Amino acid sequence: MDIDKLQIEPLDAKSRKILFGILGISLSGLECYYCKKKLNYKDCGIMPSLSNQENARIVCGSPLCFCEFFDDYKSYRKKK
């Protein structure tokens, strides 16, 4: 995955349910990976996994949490 080609795409509720099902992530108990804010599947960010222990990285809409994801992504890419 090239961070320069990463795009944020909106998903409707039905598509989100399907994606969470495919990823094996429960719709209940979602929280932001970074700030731990409780989230609803309809309004969270579904980012790519950066470790073998997760199927996706869930983030809230906070710009700070998105920045933390991108910082983690840069570190992840350097390790590869």
pTM of the model: 0.84
Query: Which DSSP string do the residues of 11-58 spell out, in sequence order?
Result: --HHHHHHHHHHHT--STT-B-TTT--B--TTS-EEEPP-STT-S-EE
Amino acid 80: pLDDT = 66
What pLDDT score was predicted for residue 9?
Answer: 85
**Cα 1 from Cα 73, distance rounded (Å):** 10
* Domain residue ranges in the chain: 10-79
Residue type, 46: I
What does the pLDDT read at residue 77?
81
Residues 69 and 59 sit within 8 Å (Cβ to Cβ) = yes
Q: How far apart are CA 33 and CA 10, in angstroms?
A: 20
Residues of the chain scoring pLDDT < 50:
none
